Amino acid sequence: MIVALSGGIGGAKLALGLSHVLPLSELLIVANTGDDFEHLGLSISPDIDTLTYALAGLDNQELGWGRRDETWSFMETLGSIGGETWFRLGDRDLALHVERTRRLRAGETLSAITAGIARRLGIGPRILPMSDDPVRTRLRSDAGWLDFQHWFVRDQTRPPVHAIDFAGAAEARPNPLLLEALRSRPRAVVICPSNPFISIEPILAVPGLRAAIAACGAPVVAVSPIIAGQAVKGPTARMFEQTGMVPSAAAVAARYAGLLTHYVMEPEDDAAGIEAQVIRAPTLMRSLKDKIALARVVLSAA
Amino acid sequence: MIVALSGGIGGAKLALGLSHVLPLSELLIVANTGDDFEHLGLSISPDIDTLTYALAGLDNQELGWGRRDETWSFMETLGSIGGETWFRLGDRDLALHVERTRRLRAGETLSAITAGIARRLGIGPRILPMSDDPVRTRLRSDAGWLDFQHWFVRDQTRPPVHAIDFAGAAEARPNPLLLEALRSRPRAVVICPSNPFISIEPILAVPGLRAAIAACGAPVVAVSPIIAGQAVKGPTARMFEQTGMVPSAAAVAARYAGLLTHYVMEPEDDAAGIEAQVIRAPTLMRSLKDKIALARVVLSAA
């Protein structure tokens, strides 16, 4: 079994690559739920949905987020009656949020709901929330404590961030299927090229998960989300800068200190100080071919 | 002030007619909320929304229900992930349900939410829910007790109905603005051509409302929803039959015994036994002109 830890867009690209080169039953994708939030009365799980859409071939490649063939009637009408429109929910995307919210209220676990939707959409590999208990990434910023989506989407990453907290993490129970997979001698643990602060570290903050990965006996292979000091997507580089660090591939690797055995990074980036075997490879994933090629690099490292 | 009691489609047609022949501040439309229900975790108020769409010119004239320029991406996607699709919610329509649900949970009253949405959509006359407390029409049928929408939409009126209950009505407080209007010597009370059993009687079942109408000193003018023994729309005739009565204009009038002073009905229908002044007029409202003409008949009767 390959266990891949993933956030949203970047992680989903590698997860899709892995799903093309592995038997589907041998891939377990662990989704960050720290970005989850409640909005308009709905339970929204952005990283689970990004993975779901990518693996179902339903991701919106024009927008780079959300789902394909999307329409926007709901959002347009919500605006016309004075509702909040800063978080753009497409009409099709909305169906997942409404159905998930209904089933959570009826007592189903996020894992069971995620698995049910994935099955309906014909997705092969298992997508597991890191925990069925709520963990919420919060940022201490110049504008006070902000929920991640408020900072990221509503405030467009403007307020400088000084600290990050994963509310609920200390009490969250790790997903039992994930613990079981880590105890059953996986072939490798892959840390996808996601934002370390807000995509991977919430997963590692769930009590027992960091230790279970360290103890699983398998190679732990991370892929750098940084190319030439810049994040490919999202607020990774900005978060480094705002917390007073220089963004670099090595700085990301340092966040996983004690876990990593292998680190896949761009040929041009500086590897000084990285305490893992460095594998040089192109990490930008534009096409499906890129994703599959990077997946092969990761697996051969492992 | 003209106080008009209304259910959905048929009532909304006359309400629209009245809004064209009255100063907007002199028309108060009382909406039945007995059809309201919770579905997919959303609070849905079909009659309020039908009135809102009709008065905003946003009603879907092709379908005969819902709102115009509608799209169906949400419903289609909900079906693809195994959600319930028997109650068809359009993408634009959904915005009202999501926003209403959010504001109800935040503690706003249904009246305040309805007024806020109406203002945003530029609606002149006031639309008042009969009560801000939940009243739910339930039907005792061959299939047991059913929520109204389950019987009407999901089961397509098939299970024979033996009794009707307005759950919560005994504890519901009448809308205070409605009581105030009835105490301030209205010019007339209009009972729109709606289903007596499930559109008008839930309103009259709210404690104090029937008595307040009877005591208001104004003419009470009802319009028959029956033409030649058939309901123009919806389950009115079927409900008469299922409860062992012969559907007729006179049978509807009998439901309002003790309240009516005037009754507007089709020239061909039998008026025998009607204890109110009968006004003969065409009641079928196809065009806006028909709606305005019937509104004028009602007002001149009053």
Say whether B74 and A81 touch across the interface (CB within 8 A): no
User: Scanning the structure block, which residue is given the tokens 């092709």?
Assistant: B62
For B99, the closest chain A residue by CA position comes to A83
Say whether A91 and B77 touch across the interface (CB within 8 A): yes
Beta strand pairing status for B136-141 and B144-147? antiparallel
- Judged against a pLDDT cut of 80, whether residue A46 lies above it is answered with yes
Say whether B98 and A42 touch across the interface (CB within 8 A): yes
The residues near A119 (Cβ < 8 Å, ≥ 6 apart) are none
Q: Nearest by CB to A74, from B41, B82, B94: name it.
A: B94
Cβ of residue B77 closer than 8 Å to a chain A Cβ: yes
Cβ of residue A120 closer than 8 Å to a chain B Cβ: yes
Torsion angles phi and psi, residue B260, rounded to 5: -70, 140
Say whether B105 and A76 touch across the interface (CB within 8 A): no
Contacts of B117 in chain A (CB under 8 A): 81-82
CATH number, domain containing residue A199: 3.40.50.10680
Banded pLDDT at A214 (limits 50, 70, 90): very high
Torsion angles phi and psi, residue B4, rounded to 5: -115, 125
pLDDT at position B91, please? Answer: 98
Cβ of residue A122 closer than 8 Å to a chain B Cβ: no
pLDDT at position B237, please? Answer: 77
How far is residue A106's CA from residue A98's CA, in Å, rounded to a whole number? 12
How far is residue B195's CA from residue B226's CA, in Å, rounded to a whole number? 9
Q: Give the gap in angstroms from C-alpha B151 to the nearest C-alpha of chain A.
A: 22
pLDDT at position B219, please? Answer: 98
Mean of per-residue pLDDT scores for chain A: 95
How many of the other CB atoms lie within 10 Å of CB of A72? 16
Q: Which residues face B14 on adjacent strands?
A: none
Q: Nearest by CB to B81, from A75, A96, A101: name it.
A: A96
Contacts of B74 in chain A (CB under 8 A): 74, 91-92, 94-95, 98
Banded pLDDT at A78 (limits 50, 70, 90): very high
Query: In three state form, how does the secondary structure of chain B look?
Result: CEEEEECCHHHHHHHHHHHHHCCHHHEEEEECCCCCEEECCEEECHHHHHHHHHHCCCECCCCCCCECCCCCHHHHHHHHCCCCCCCCCCHHHHHHHHHHHHHHHCCCCHHHHHHHHHHHCCCCCEEEECECCCCEEEEEECCEEEEHHHHHHHCCCCCCEEEEEEECHHHCCECHHHHHHHHCCCCEEEECCCCHHHHHHHHHHCCCHHHHHHCCCCCEEEECCEECCEECCCCHHHHHHHCCCCCCHHHHHHHCCCCCCEEEECCCCCCCCCCCEEEECCCCCCCHHHHHHHHHHHHHHC
Cβ of residue A74 closer than 8 Å to a chain B Cβ: yes
- What's the whole-number mean pLDDT along residues A33-57? 97
- What's the whole-number mean pLDDT along residues A164-177? 97
Interface of B with A in 94-113 (CB under 8 A): 94-96, 98-99, 101-102, 105
Identify the segments of chain B with pLDDT beneath 50. none
pLDDT at position B238, please? Answer: 79
Cβ of residue A42 closer than 8 Å to a chain B Cβ: yes
Number of domains in chain A: 1
Q: For A225-247, what is each residue's pLDDT tens digit?
A: 999 888 777 778 778 888 778 88
Contacts of B81 in chain A (CB under 8 A): 95-96, 99, 116-117, 120-121
Q: What is the CA radius of gyration of chain A?
A: 18
Burial of A232 (0-12, 13-18, 19+ CB in 10 A): middle
Say whether A95 and B77 touch across the interface (CB within 8 A): yes
Contacts of A91 in chain B (CB under 8 A): 71, 73-74, 77, 91, 94
Torsional sign, CA B134, B135, B137, B138: positive
Say whether B83 and A92 touch across the interface (CB within 8 A): no
Torsional sign, CA A90, A109, A174, A126: negative
How far is residue B61's CA from residue A143's CA, in Å, rounded to a whole number? 48
Domain enclosing residue B193, as ranges: 2-301
Interface of A with B in 268-287 (CB under 8 A): none
Q: Which residues face B231 on adjacent strands?
A: B226
Say whether B94 and A102 touch across the interface (CB within 8 A): no
Contacts of A108 in chain B (CB under 8 A): none
